[in-house]
């Protein structure tokens, strides 16, 4: 174990976050405020409750995860792509630090940034609506697991991408649409039976539902299914990361 190496990479990545600290926090706050103005006021005035929960509070978990998905994938993918682009990845690969320690440092830094943003979004939401947290410890655990999982996913994108444009392809064309269609701003129980069945094939539904359960004690799917989907996604990401380092896929060429 090389804790000094892990700490050096972690500190370097967090320093980059520090240089854009206010931008990184002000933008999510403004975005969240706009969502509340548009969805909370315009739509909330016509749909006051969803499943007995005030609509303003109902969308809070979805807003937090939407921002966290953005931050997790963006920070983790950019963090590993820049050494590839600059050519300094070879210094990391030749340093006395294992692949596990390298991933721990990069993903840990990206997850830390994502969790900070998630907490800021939650605090901002409290200004607009009182949001109860039925299971605070479960909420914190879910928040951390979600951040780590999507930072791993972002890390994979950063290794796979061969241009700055490719860094944006999967988030823009896959992750964001699945998030908006995954019940972030509505309950899938509101959909017709056919579309409700189709929506259950969207993995993001299980993540948002599980996180919403920690707030209100209920979700669109069971908490067991949500945890199972999260564990499966995390396991797949870990397996692909292991394969990438073992084969040197787009790391050594």
Is position 236 within any domain? yes
| pLDDT tens-digit readout, 180-202 | 888 888 889 888 989 899 999 99
Q: Which helix (H) or strand (E) holds 54?
A: strand 53-54
Domain count, the chain: 1
Q: What percent of the chain has pLDDT over 70?
A: 96
As to burial, measured by CB atoms within 10 angstroms (0-12 exposed, 13-18 middle, 19+ buried), residue 196 is: middle
- Once rounded to an integer, what is the mean pLDDT over residues 40-63? 78
- For 112, the 3-state DSSP assignment is helix
Is position 127 within any domain? yes
Going 32 to 57 to 146 to 204, the CA torsion angle's sign is negative
Is position 119 within any domain? yes
Is position 66 within any domain? yes
Res 220 pLDDT > 70: yes
The counts of H helices and E strands in the chain are 12, 2
**What confidence score (pLDDT) does residue 57 get?**
87
- Look up residue 9 and give its two tokens: 């990479």
Q: Which helix (H) or strand (E) holds 209?
A: helix 203-216
Rounded Cα distance between 134 and 141, Å, is 13
Range of the domain at 104: 3-247
Is position 253 within any domain? no
- Once rounded to an integer, what is the mean pLDDT over residues 231-238? 94
Is position 252 within any domain? no
| pLDDT tens-digit readout, 27-44 | 877 877 887 777 766 665
Are residues 187 and 220 in contact, defined by beta-carbon separation less than 8 angstroms? yes
Q: Which residues contact 49 (CB under 8 A, 6 or more apart)?
A: 55, 58
**What confidence score (pLDDT) does residue 42 get?**
67
Is position 242 within any domain? yes
| pLDDT tens-digit readout, 82-129 | 998 888 888 888 888 888 899 999 999 999 999 998 998 898 888 888
Rounded Cα distance between 228 and 59, Å, is 23
**What confidence score (pLDDT) does residue 181 get?**
87
Using pLDDT thresholds of 50, 70 and 90, give the confidence band for residue 155: very high
Rounded Cα distance between 92 and 189, Å, is 49
**What confidence score (pLDDT) does residue 41 get?**
66
Is position 29 within any domain? yes
């Amino acid at each position: 174990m090389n804790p000094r190496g892990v700490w050096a990479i972690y500190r370097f990545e967090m320093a980059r976050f520090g240089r854009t600290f206010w931008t990184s926090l002000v933008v999510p706050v403004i975005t969240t405020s706009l969502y509340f103005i548009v969805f909370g006021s315009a739509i909330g005035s016509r749909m006051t409750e969803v499943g007995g929960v005030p609509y303003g509070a109902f969308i809070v978990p979805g807003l937090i995860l939407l921002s966290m998905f953005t931050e997790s994938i963006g920070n983790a993918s950019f963090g590993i792509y820049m050494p590839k682009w600059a050519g300094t990845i070879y210094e990391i690969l030749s340093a006395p630090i294992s692949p596990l320690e390298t991933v721990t440092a990069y993903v840990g830094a990206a997850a830390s940034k994502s969790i900070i943003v998630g907490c800021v979004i939650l605090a901002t939401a409290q200004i607009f609506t009182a949001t109860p947290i039925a299971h605070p410890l479960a909420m914190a655990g879910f928040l951390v697991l979600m951040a780590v999982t999507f930072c791993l996913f972002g890390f994979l994108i950063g290794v796979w991408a061969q241009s700055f444009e490719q860094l944006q392809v999967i988030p823009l064309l896959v992750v964001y649409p699945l998030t908006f269609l995954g019940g972030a701003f509505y309950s899938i129980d509101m959909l017709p039976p056919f579309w409700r069945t189709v929506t259950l094939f969207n993995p993001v539904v299980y993540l948002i539902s599980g996180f919403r359960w920690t707030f209100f004690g209920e979700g669109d799917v069971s908490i067991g299914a949500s945890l199972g989907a999260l564990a499966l996604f995390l396991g797949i990401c870990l397996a692909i990361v292991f394969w990438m380092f073992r084969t040197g896929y787009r790391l050594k060429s």
